Amino acid sequence: MSTQEPVKKGGLRGFFRRLATSQAELEAAELREDLENHGATPIAACGQRQRFCVAGTLRTVTLRPRGGAPALEAELYDGSDVIDLVWLGRRKIVGIEPGRVVRAEGLVSLQDGRKVMFNPRYELRPTG
């Protein structure tokens, strides 16, 4: 009588797929899976002039003056696309830093071919 252990989901095929996939692709897939947990829309699916809730990881945070006033800009990546979050009149926001997981809500617009959300409502999410 032989007993067999149950085969794990993905099995050998999943193992080889993970080996052939780059680290960046694996991270992107993981971020896309997390969207549902945050109740967010994939950035790639966001159209301009509409309100959306997005979530992802901040890649960069920079201070750039806009019209003579300070503006804090952060690039948010969710595995599908990127969006620039811009807080006008702000030099720094505690917790807004590269690597941080953020959920943001606001009106999406297009500026210089990039998706932008000005003064979004945001929520800092726990990492990992």
* Complete DSSP assignment for 100-114: -EEEEEEEEEEETTE
**What are the respective helix, strand and coil percentages of the chain, to the nearest 5?**
25, 40, 40
19 is written with which tokens? 């080996």
pLDDT (tens digit, 0 to 9) for every residue of the chain, 128 residues total?
A: 444 444 445 566 666 666 656 766 767 666 666 677 778 999 999 999 999 999 999 999 999 988 889 999 999 999 899 999 999 999 999 999 999 999 999 999 999 999 999 999 999 988 66
Count Cβ neighbours within 10 Å for each residue of 66-86 and write b for 16 or more, e otherwise.
eeeeebbbbbbbbbbbebbbb
Q: Residues with Cβ < 8 Å from 3, sequence gap 6 or more?
A: none
pLDDT of the residue at 8: 47
pLDDT of the residue at 5: 44
Nearest CA among 48, 73, 46 for reference residue 62: 73
pLDDT of the residue at 19: 60
